[in-house]
Amino acid sequence: MQRRSGSGAGGGRAARPLPLLLLLAAALLPRPAAAAPPRPERAAIRQLPRGGGPLPEYLLDDVPDHAAWQLGRLTPAFLALADMAYPLDHSAGTPRRPLAPCLGAWGARGPPVWLGGGGAEGRGRRAFVFRTRRDVFVAIRGLDSPAALLNYTRVTPVFDSAWFGAPPPARPPPPAQPLRAYRTKRPFADPGLFWVLQRDYDDARQLDGPLRDAVADQIEQMEPSARAGARVWLTGHSSGGAAAQLLALRLAATIGPARIGGVLLFNSDRVGSAGFARHYDSLLGNRTLRYGYGLDNANMAANMAMGLRFPGRGFWACPAPGAASESLAKLPPGVDRVNACAGITPWPRGGDDLEARDGVAARWRVPLPFVRDFTVMSTIAEWDSFSHHFPHLLFDSLLRILGPELDAPAAAALKLPECVVSDRCSAALRRRDGGGRGRCMSCASDATCSDSWGLGPGYRCDAWPSLTRSNLCYRAFPLGAPPTLGGLFFLRSAPPRGGGGGAGERW
């Protein structure tokens, strides 16, 4: 694979930060300890190889083709990678533990290479790249602070099909409109137009050059026999999923679609028009999977009224009152809906999907004085499902839905102690309390706390429609208070009592 000859909008080749990043990563990693006897869970980490033959040793070696078109045993690992791309805990802003020990246990050859940012404690980092024997993985984070929500006002369409290798437009784009007109007049809903959102396009242009350099370097470090078949896998959560869509299509245009192993999106934003989705699907549609939860706000915030559409195929976890586990809604390629859980999850806005009539603009006005641009957002005023967006619920719901499909080797890899990069309740791979207190155990209903986690009858699920809900199990009044959204961000899980076992080990 050749390195890029130019990057971004500026043309000339930027200085490559890879050697410095590698030196810094090597300096920050702890010194390897003396070799210890292999643990039973290590010996159990196996997975089906890409082309048959003996089983590889590590979870992410030789990822099979179907990993990006159906939910399976590796989907939770990709979701965990998307969450690991946040160097700081969600909203709490505390640094996470180093990723290298976990990635090494999953098959990484060398430490991850971070892209973007150079602030203290990893602030400003946007993505990391690492390789296994024959694959390269790219994980991209979403918004890293509440202040970054201002980025959602930058929704001007960008018409640059050439950068993505798409055919030139058949007709000129419509003239620019005031932001408030985007959902009232819908000037860009024409399905024949190819455009993407300004906010994500700018981010993708910044990441494009460093990402292609990092991917090329990772492939060059592989064994010569593995380089020809090396593939790139991309994953992202929230607006990281939006960036993953753009960068996957950009990579397909520059290194070829055959090099893209798959794209896995989790509670992702929409980022491009119907024309974008159609061109994307012609190249990568059968290698792109998106997984979301209930009334996830990212799914509604980047709404379809403006003309946005998802590529790939969709899977949606749908909670229902009284059910311990979520039901799974499936959207085939080319099908996109705001409320994928219609008929399963009660829709709190009157039964429509916000697309049925032209008067939807009234729902999108946010009562914030002096901030007119926020009228382009959909769900500031509808964040009664904010907790549906975070990785804790997304990850656990996936485990509940997969059930026995998540075999013992894959589950063992996800439970390795070095993979607990955060003990905050909002993280995907976090420490769940095995001492019977139920801390950091996500839930769809009260039945999840009892049937899935094995907690006692005194536990309830904080799952009622409310801006402050957390979708965590808690001990009912008067013995304790629900964790609420603040508990989701700031509560730490206590270590298991007596070395584990008990509640918290049933997933």
Contact 297, 212 (CB under 8 A): no
Helix H or strand E segment including 43: helix 40-44
Contact 81, 139 (CB under 8 A): yes
pLDDT tens digits for range 96-107: 999 999 999 999
- Return phi, psi of residue 487, to 5°: -65, -35
Percentage with pLDDT > 90 across the chain? 44
Could you state, in order of their start, the residue ranges of all structural domains in the chain? 40-393
pLDDT tens digits for range 191-203: 788 999 988 999 9
- CATH 3.30.460.80 corresponds to the domain 40-393: no
DSSP code of 451? I
Rounded Cα gap, residues 311 and 47, in angstroms: 28
Q: What is the pLDDT of residue 33?
A: 35
pLDDT tens digits for range 449-459: 999 998 888 88
pLDDT tens digits for range 445-489: 999 999 999 888 888 898 876 667 889 988 876 555 666 777 787
Mean pLDDT value across residues 71-83? 96
Rounded Cα gap, residues 144 and 428, in angstroms: 16
pLDDT tens digits for range 294-338: 888 777 655 666 778 999 999 999 998 899 999 999 999 888 887
Task: Give the CA distances from residue 329 to residues 82, 299, 343, 368, 394, in Å, rounded to whole numbers and listed in that order.
Answer: 22, 14, 10, 35, 14
Q: What is the pLDDT of residue 152?
A: 67
Task: Give the CA distances from residue 146 to residues 90, 120, 126, 263, 446, in Å, rounded to whole numbers and listed in that order.
Answer: 10, 18, 16, 26, 30
Mean pLDDT value across residues 136-156? 79
Provide the 3-class DSSP secondary structure of residue 252.
helix
Q: DSSP string of 191-212?
A: TT---EEHHHHHHHHHHHHHHH
Mean pLDDT value across residues 23-37? 35
Strands 459-461 and 473-475: antiparallel
What is this structure's pTM? Answer: 0.84
Q: In this structure, is the dihedral angle defined by the CA atoms of residues 194, 198, 202 and 207, taken in order, positive or negative? A: negative
pLDDT tens digits for range 162-209: 999 999 988 888 777 765 565 555 666 677 889 999 889 999 999 999
Report which of 293, 246, 240 is spatially closest to residue 269, judged by C-alpha positions.
240
Average pLDDT over the chain reads: 78
Helix H or strand E segment including 266: strand 260-266
